[in-house]
Structure 1
């Protein structure tokens, strides 16, 4: 599988189920089927995979995946190996519910159980990992209790955890793949087994002839 970019070809190497799931998710962001997405969408794409990346993390991955021939976009063929590595090395794991509750207790010293929308927007846009306007808007749709017009813990944590998969968790899939021997090793094991079986049959045949 490959993608052509103005005279040169970028290969898309899909080696396992994890790679395929990442490529399938990328397709949701690649509306023109150009095998690339704009720079501004890389962070949203990474978070949609369940990677809890900061803006600095996003920039690091973009730097590793940069190609001078496509300066304003990022090709899946270049992003894929760097993203797969994140899963296999367990980088950017999601926070647990307990950790999130502990963090938001710090934002709510009076223990009201909810936060003002303007305050949450200020925290996420101007402090720590800074959300851009698009990310903030998408996040607040899920985080706000529209009856009270407040952000309560349950809504907020559900919004933060909405990308964490259960049985389809890509981190779990990466663990499974890491435990599987590479194809050449499988072929070597099969060859050795067949050889051993052949030697046993030859030995049994020789023993029968001697008897």
Structure 2
């Protein structure tokens, strides 16, 4: 993979090895998005499915060479390709009826599990737990704080 720096190739191979559960030098194609996100790319499942990710596990496997080609393609994309802080804020402002930077936790939950790249209730619970998002006495959250925590990722101290 001449298009990736050697340190990124090494890192991608390490991630691939973690997902190679049967030690067969193959990974279930269902995990392409998970592997790319492990490498710090904020990819969508839809974009990953265009490049070979399967919707269900057990359908197809990929080799490390195939994964490196997919990783290289995503790695070369400009960062603006993926959702930015501004994109998320603009989208959530639609639900801020009083334009005060607050929206109900129930409404945020509904948006996240019902629109676009739908989250499962378990995934939503995990995000709320990881971002320590709790509603106030009136059931509201500050969505700016929420978006900042989501954008910081699971290990904000590394940013």
Report the TM-score when normalising by structure 1. Answer: 0.53
What is the aligned counterpart of 1:108 among 75, 83, 96? Answer: 96
Following superposition of structure 1 onto structure 2, how do residues 54-133 of structure 1 map, counting pairs within 5 Å?
54-62=44-52, 71-90=59-78, 93-133=81-121
Matched-pair contact (CA < 8 Å) for 2:105–2:141: yes
**Stretches of 4+ aligned residues off by more than 6 angstroms:** 163-168
What is the aligned counterpart of 2:42 among 34, 40, 52? Answer: 52
Residue 22 of structure 1 pairs with residue 12 of structure 2: yes
**Alignment RMSD (CA, Å):** 3.6
- Give the 3-state SS of the residue equivalent to 1:57 in structure 2: helix
Residues 100 and 78 of structure 1: is their aligned pair in 2 closer, same or farther, counting only changes over 3 Å? same
Aligned residue number for residue 184 of structure 1 = none
Following superposition of structure 1 onto structure 2, how do residues 144-183 of structure 1 map, counting pairs within 5 Å?
144-146=132-134, 148=136, 150-153=140-143, 154-162=145-153
Q: For structure 2, list consecutive stretches of 5 or more residues without a partner in the other structure.
A: none
Residues 92 and 78 of structure 1: is their aligned pair in 2 closer, same or farther, counting only changes over 3 Å? farther
Residues 75 and 108 of structure 1: is their aligned pair in 2 closer, same or farther, counting only changes over 3 Å? farther
Aligned residue number for residue 31 of structure 2 = 41
Q: For structure 1, list consecutive stretches of 5 or more residues without a partner in the other structure.
A: 1-13, 169-211
Residues 15 and 94 of structure 1: is their aligned pair in 2 closer, same or farther, counting only changes over 3 Å? closer
Report the TM-score when normalising by structure 2. Answer: 0.67
C-alpha displacement at 1:133, in angstroms? Answer: 4.4
C-alpha displacement at 1:57, in angstroms? Answer: 0.7
Structure with max Cα Rg:
1
Residues 100 and 106 of structure 1: is their aligned pair in 2 closer, same or farther, counting only changes over 3 Å? same
